[in-house]
A and B are shown apart, each in its own frame.
Chain A
Amino acid sequence: MSDFESSKSGISWLFLMAWRDLRSNAGKLFLFMSSIIIGIAALVAIQSFGNNLTESIDLQSRALMGADYVIDSNQPANEEVIRIMDSLGGPDSREINFASMVVFPKSGNSKLVQVVGTEKGFPFYGEFETEPADASSSYLDRGAALVDATVMLQQDLKPGDSLKVGNITLPIAGALKAVPGRSALSSSVAPAVFIPYEQITQTGLVQRGSRVEYKYYFVADQGQDLEALYEAIDPRLDAEGADLDTHLDESRRLGRRYNNFGKFLNIVAFIALLLGCVGIGSAVHVYIRGKLRSIAVLKCMGASRSQTFKIFLIQVAGLGAVGGIIGTLAGISLQMAAPALLEEYLPVKVSVSISYPAIILGLLLGVLMSVFFALLPLLRTWYVSPLSVLRVQPENDAHTGKAQAVVLGLIFLFLVLLALQILGNWQYAFFFILGLGVSFALLYGVARILMWAVKRYFPEKLGFCVRQSMLNLFRPQNQTSVLLLSVGVGAFLISTLFFSRDILLSKVALGNDENSPNIILLDVQTDQVEAIKKTLRENQVPVLSNVPIVTMRVEEINGRAVNEIRNDTTSNIGRWVLNHEFRVTYRDSLIPSESVLSGAWVGNAEDKELVPISVAENFASDARVEVGDRVTFNVQGVMIATEIASIREVDWGRVQLNFSVLFPNGVLEDAPKFHVVSTRTVGDQSSAVLQRQLVSLYPNVSIIDLRQILSLLEGILNKIGLVIRFMALLSILTGIVVLVGAVRTSKYQRIRESVLLRTLGAKNAQLLRISFYEYAFLGILGSLTGILLSLVGSFFLARFVFEEPFVPSTEPFLILLPILTLIVVCIGLLNSRSVLNTPPLEILRSESR
């Protein structure tokens, strides 16, 4: 238009208008800010804590190992291993460790411990923490022992008391509080006792068949490339049944141990953010709805579409930035609290430091989330006709439809990128968002079907209140779709949290019935079995199992010798399969922790030429073998040819003996073996008497008191569960904010109608009943649909993300469903409160403005 100059008001006016409009609307944007703050606080807290943990593991991995690298083996170093170690300058320190019972003469009590014989020098990084402090430097010279501080406490031991390890008795130099390389988890299961290396032989506990680990610690030269060293040396050591670990492996391994926990936390953070995003969308939808008249007035005054759009965009982005800052600060505060909660069970002391990537992400997301999820409702400002000032205008569906499609595409892309950033895997990211999209579509479908069904089969004979509430579901400008979508998506995300938490927590199934053993006797020699059974019977406890164990190594896979495979650089067969000394048992049936994935289980060999064996899934995949393939085992010098008859899925998380390789009956009965015997004791006293008797009669037998382990595991899980629940609570809070927003969305429609009914003479109780039925119906249907969808989604999460079996709990159905419905109903009824307490005319006037 040549006659007029374009509008001269610049960007500063847009900011001014955004501020003017905002200053008296702060209360109305509470939902919006809450959504951003809680979502971002959860993200920053979780990501920062995760980053801190990783950094701490990296920084302290040397101290974790106590050296730069270590060579370890389950047998004494042979000539070749010694040659390799000599070429590396020889070990700087040696260690032998094994699990064994020790006796405390003062009390006569016995205890399963990890006996560790060390030489001077270790640890080269980090240090022992002992009480008294000088005990760590003096115990080797004094020929004394350092005993785990908890054991000292439990057994009422003091420095100067003694303990009996096998054949020798040593004085206790002090209590061991912390040791490089041992987290509370492993040391709690078998607390450590450190004794001088030279005295290990005198204990008489290192015998054939004993489970002993030999370690050789090395300090690297400055600047030595440990990755290159690993590449060069490890294959040679592998061939000799030894292994090289660098502190870099330690770092990686620890990272993996907390991998699923980390995955869950990331999912929690992502769900909190998603709920935040839905909350933003709902809040801006309600907010903009109240602004449409003002926007039309501005357009009458001469503001362009772009100017009005930008005023509210600036508002939303500004609020997003402020919300991002507050959320980030709240997240940092939460991050400070996390290590204190988890300290006891983390392998390293997590130093809390500001994680700049998480903070930058939090601040950026504050703005990006707000803008992307406000775009859909903000689009309405573009299409508001100035004529709305004079009369109600229908929205231009053709225009908004195209624009909405573009915005939805942008949101999908943003979410996939966000998911990629947080979950760290593009497949998870894509499928997670796709799943969410499908859920949206299904919820929308359910809403449409509901409206159609209620209209088609309208309950004419029901009472006035029920009929009115049913009418609300499908009348023009109804909120059925919006409410079902919001409530359904909220329920979907929150119950996904519940289900994922269960997947994580049910990993360790704790047996506590009469047939579950709670005392395990390891390393029982064949000639000791009958005597031990007799001892158990005398103590009136049952022998629940007697599992024979035969050790063997793989000799050939499908006709190829392991040495040939080792030298074949193109082979992708896992090295551990070639080097591992397998502890194998034989039986005629499967146990509950096993199930056949492929092939058929054969329980008896029946003189077949090839022994039909069963291997675990991980063995099959690492050895690259399938059903029908052949593997030859070297059973202490005797070659046994086998054929893989079945591949099993094994639940390694169960507290019971599981095996990678399982033989049928009729083959290994005469092979040299040791046994694992299990029993169940009742009561602490009888258990202690039995353990003392066994350790004094059979000093080579290791006794594991599962009661202690089970209670420890429960304690650890409870603690981790506490953290998980705390993090999940953050997301649930966001979900509630979303629900409030969703129900508020329908406020305008409901109020108008309620006022009209009241004007026509409806009583308050009738109005409340109408609202109650409608919201209860939508609450139940939305929550139930969301939870059912989440059930399907969680199955896929369990299968593909956590790689764990999925056993859904009833918690979402029994707790979440009623609570969500109650929240929807309460918020819905609260919406009607202003109608009940105010004269109809007053509301009609105020609503019309």
Chain B
Amino acid sequence: MEVSKILNVSQLRKTYNSGSGSLTVLDDISFSLEAGETFAIVGPSGSGKTTLLGLCAGLDRPDSGHIELCGVEIDTLDEDERALLRNRKVGFIFQDFQLLPTLTALENVAVPLELQGAKNASIQAKTLLNKVGLGERIHHYPSQLSGGEQQRVALARAFSNTPEILFADEPTGELDEETGQRIIELLFDLNKEAGTTLVIITHDMDLARKTQRILRLKGGKILMDEKVMV
């Protein structure tokens, strides 16, 4: 049986203009991911990791090359169409959690479902918060939660719309080692349960080795694309 490709990136190039000229951040990047695969993008600061994640998730447009996400050529979509695609197919986890500060934990998790027009968004959000161990703190605001708790709310939110692919940008970057470890376990457990494709950006090689495949970037180019031997 042929395994379907969930992300197909070919000959991607991205350049930023600055006052002193242009800076090529990504150059000739091509790779593809299969559904359910776990994948890490690693590299030193300035290697283009975050730019690549932004392009793959449809948050930005490449200067050239093509991206096919969940079977859709995203470079042909306008901004609102890409937003819709993200709402239906994509989940995010950010280094600094990025919870909406004016919404409670429950409301933060419910937002992606509410955007889909789900009638039982609150119930589903509550179930997810129970799953990440925050059933007792659903009405707390982000400012009333610890860093680890905030990232667990972010995890619940990321999985609330049952995404086909989940992008995680340094998910433990703001957490202490112990808390970070627990978050990673939770992330991989939830991912396994949902069968979601997982793309993690990290400096942490221990975390990267937990995935099935590692893409090393340097100076905006692919240095290595290797399968992790378990």
- Interface residues of A, Cβ cutoff 8 Å to B: 1, 3-4, 6-10, 13, 16-17, 20-25, 293-294, 297-307, 385-387, 389-391, 848-849
The reply to whether A387 and B59 contact each other, CB–CB distance below 8 Å, is: yes
Q: Mark B36-75, 1 if CB is under 8 A from A, else 0.
A: 0000000000000010011001011000000000011000
The reply to whether B98 and A297 contact each other, CB–CB distance below 8 Å, is: yes
The reply to whether B83 and A390 contact each other, CB–CB distance below 8 Å, is: no
Cβ contacts under 8 Å, A23 to chain B: 102
Q: Which residue of B lies closest to A382 (CB)?
A: B79
The reply to whether A294 and B80 contact each other, CB–CB distance below 8 Å, is: no
Q: Give me 4 other A-B pairs in contact (C-beta within 8 A), A21-B100, A24-B102, A386-B83 excluded.
A: A293-B98, A302-B90, A390-B169, A849-B96
Most B CB atoms within 10 A — which of A17, A294, A302, A386? A302
Nearest 7 pairs of A and B residues by beta carbon? A302-B87, A8-B117, A304-B80, A1-B81, A387-B59, A386-B59, A21-B102
Q: Which residue of B lies closest to A291 (CB)?
A: B102
Q: In the bound complex, how far is the Cα of B114 from the Cα of A298, in angstroms?
A: 12
Contact of A8 among B90, B111, B116, B141 (CB under 8 A): B116
The reply to whether A301 and B115 contact each other, CB–CB distance below 8 Å, is: yes
The reply to whether A20 and B86 contact each other, CB–CB distance below 8 Å, is: no
Cβ contacts under 8 Å, A21 to chain B: 100, 102-103
Q: Mark B171-206, 1 if CB is under 8 A from A, else 0.
A: 000000000000000000000000000000000000
Cβ contacts under 8 Å, B84 to chain A: 1, 4, 6-7, 302, 304
Q: In the bound complex, how far is the Cα of B75 from the Cα of A1, in angstroms?
A: 12
Q: Which residue of A lies closest to B157 (CB)?
A: A301
The reply to whether A303 and B98 contact each other, CB–CB distance below 8 Å, is: no
The reply to whether B83 and A304 contact each other, CB–CB distance below 8 Å, is: yes
We find that the number of chain B residues with CB closer than 8 angstroms to chain A is 39
Given contacts A1-B77, A301-B111, A302-B86, contact A25 B72 (CB under 8 A): no
Given contacts A20-B103, A390-B54, contact A3 B87 (CB under 8 A): no
Shortest Cβ gap from A432 to chain B (Å): 39
Cβ contacts under 8 Å, B90 to chain A: 302
The reply to whether A305 and B50 contact each other, CB–CB distance below 8 Å, is: no
Q: Which residue of B lies closest to A4 (CB)?
A: B84
The reply to whether A294 and B59 contact each other, CB–CB distance below 8 Å, is: no
Cβ contacts under 8 Å, A306 to chain B: 80
Contact of B100 among A7, A8, A297, A390 (CB under 8 A): A297
Cβ contacts under 8 Å, B159 to chain A: none
Q: Which residue of A lies closest to B78 (CB)?
A: A1
The reply to whether B114 and A305 contact each other, CB–CB distance below 8 Å, is: no
The reply to whether B115 and A9 contact each other, CB–CB distance below 8 Å, is: yes
The reply to whether A302 and B115 contact each other, CB–CB distance below 8 Å, is: yes
The reply to whether B85 and A390 contact each other, CB–CB distance below 8 Å, is: no
A-B contact pairs, 8 of them (CB 8 A): A1-B84, A1-B85, A21-B102, A300-B86, A301-B115, A385-B59, A387-B59, A849-B96
Q: In the bound complex, how far is the Cα of B72 from the Cα of A302, in angstroms?
A: 16
The reply to whether A10 and B72 contact each other, CB–CB distance below 8 Å, is: no
Cβ contacts under 8 Å, B101 to chain A: 24, 294, 849
Shortest Cβ gap from A460 to chain B (Å): 24
The reply to whether A20 and B112 contact each other, CB–CB distance below 8 Å, is: no
Q: In the bound complex, how far is the Cα of B89 from the Cα of A302, in angstroms?
A: 10
The reply to whether A10 and B117 contact each other, CB–CB distance below 8 Å, is: yes
Cβ contacts under 8 Å, B112 to chain A: 301-302
Q: Is B107 an interface residue (CB 8 A)?
A: yes
Shortest Cβ gap from B32 to chain A (Å): 19
The reply to whether A25 and B59 contact each other, CB–CB distance below 8 Å, is: no
Given contacts A3-B72, A7-B117, A9-B114, contact A300 B59 (CB under 8 A): yes
Shortest Cβ gap from B157 to chain A (Å): 8
The reply to whether B60 and A387 contact each other, CB–CB distance below 8 Å, is: yes
Q: In the bound complex, how far is the Cα of B128 from the Cα of A402, in angstroms?
A: 44
The reply to whether A389 and B72 contact each other, CB–CB distance below 8 Å, is: no
The reply to whether A3 and B71 contact each other, CB–CB distance below 8 Å, is: yes
Q: In the bound complex, how far is the Cα of B157 from the Cα of A697, in angstroms?
A: 103
Shortest Cβ gap from B147 to chain A (Å): 11
Given contacts A1-B77, A21-B102, contact A387 B116 (CB under 8 A): no
Given contacts A4-B84, A303-B83, contact A391 B98 (CB under 8 A): no
Considering the complex, which residues of chain B in the window 111-131 have a beta carbon less than 8 Å from any beta carbon of chain A?
Answer: 111-112, 114-117
Given contacts A304-B80, A305-B79, contact A24 B116 (CB under 8 A): no
Shortest Cβ gap from B5 to chain A (Å): 16
Given contacts A10-B117, A23-B102, A302-B112, contact A385 B80 (CB under 8 A): no
Q: Which residue of A lies closest to B87 (CB)?
A: A302
Given contacts A301-B115, A390-B53, contact A1 B100 (CB under 8 A): no
Q: Is B88 an interface residue (CB 8 A)?
A: yes
Cβ contacts under 8 Å, A305 to chain B: 79-80, 83
Contact of B141 among A3, A7, A9, A24 (CB under 8 A): A24
Cβ contacts under 8 Å, B71 to chain A: 3
Cβ contacts under 8 Å, A299 to chain B: 83
Q: In the bound complex, how far is the Cα of B46 from the Cα of A391, in angstroms?
A: 12
Q: In the bound complex, how far is the Cα of B101 from the Cα of A20, in angstroms?
A: 10
Shortest Cβ gap from B100 to chain A (Å): 5
Given contacts A13-B114, A301-B111, A304-B80, contact A389 B88 (CB under 8 A): no
Q: In the bound complex, how far is the Cα of B107 from the Cα of A20, in angstroms?
A: 9
Shortest Cβ gap from B138 to chain A (Å): 14
Cβ contacts under 8 Å, A303 to chain B: 83, 87, 115
Cβ contacts under 8 Å, A389 to chain B: 59, 92, 94, 98
Q: In the bound complex, how far is the Cα of B155 from the Cα of A354, in angstroms?
A: 57
The reply to whether B60 and A385 contact each other, CB–CB distance below 8 Å, is: yes
Q: In the bound complex, how far is the Cα of B121 from the Cα of A849, in angstroms?
A: 27
Q: In the bound complex, how far is the Cα of B111 from the Cα of A9, in angstroms?
A: 10
The reply to whether A298 and B102 contact each other, CB–CB distance below 8 Å, is: no
Q: Which residue of B lies closest to A297 (CB)?
A: B98
Given contacts A7-B117, A848-B96, contact A390 B50 (CB under 8 A): yes
The reply to whether A7 and B98 contact each other, CB–CB distance below 8 Å, is: no
Cβ contacts under 8 Å, B77 to chain A: 1
Q: In the bound complex, how far is the Cα of B53 from the Cα of A307, in angstroms?
A: 24
Q: In the bound complex, how far is the Cα of B103 from the Cα of A24, in angstroms?
A: 9
The reply to whether B85 and A20 contact each other, CB–CB distance below 8 Å, is: no
Most A CB atoms within 10 A — which of B57, B80, B94? B80
Shortest Cβ gap from A424 to chain B (Å): 43
Cβ contacts under 8 Å, A300 to chain B: 57, 59, 86, 92, 98
Q: In the bound complex, how far is the Cα of B92 from the Cα of A302, in angstroms?
A: 11
Cβ contacts under 8 Å, A6 to chain B: 84
Q: Which residue of A lies closest to B58 (CB)?
A: A386
Cβ contacts under 8 Å, A4 to chain B: 81, 84-85, 88
Q: Which residue of A lies closest to B86 (CB)?
A: A302
The reply to whether A294 and B115 contact each other, CB–CB distance below 8 Å, is: no
Shortest Cβ gap from B125 to chain A (Å): 13
Cβ contacts under 8 Å, A16 to chain B: 114
Q: Which residue of A lies closest to B92 (CB)?
A: A300
Shortest Cβ gap from A332 to chain B (Å): 34
Most A CB atoms within 10 A — which of B60, B100, B161? B100
Cβ contacts under 8 Å, B85 to chain A: 1, 4, 302
Shortest Cβ gap from A493 to chain B (Å): 34
Shortest Cβ gap from A475 to chain B (Å): 14
Q: In the bound complex, how far is the Cα of B139 from the Cα of A746, in angstroms?
A: 34
Q: Which residue of A lies closest to B141 (CB)?
A: A24
The reply to whether B87 and A301 contact each other, CB–CB distance below 8 Å, is: yes
The reply to whether A298 and B111 contact each other, CB–CB distance below 8 Å, is: yes
Contact of B72 among A1, A9, A304, A848 (CB under 8 A): A1
Q: In the bound complex, how far is the Cα of B107 from the Cα of A298, in angstroms?
A: 12
Q: Which residue of B lies closest to A290 (CB)?
A: B101
Cβ contacts under 8 Å, A24 to chain B: 101-102, 141
Q: In the bound complex, how far is the Cα of B141 from the Cα of A61, in angstroms?
A: 64
Q: In the bound complex, how far is the Cα of B85 from the Cα of A7, in angstroms?
A: 10
The reply to whether B50 and A391 contact each other, CB–CB distance below 8 Å, is: yes
Q: In the bound complex, how far is the Cα of B81 from the Cα of A298, in angstroms?
A: 14
Q: Which residue of A lies closest to B70 (CB)?
A: A3
Q: Which residue of B lies closest to A304 (CB)?
A: B80
Cβ contacts under 8 Å, A294 to chain B: 100-102
Q: In the bound complex, how far is the Cα of B102 from the Cα of A301, in angstroms?
A: 16
Most B CB atoms within 10 A — which of A24, A385, A390? A390
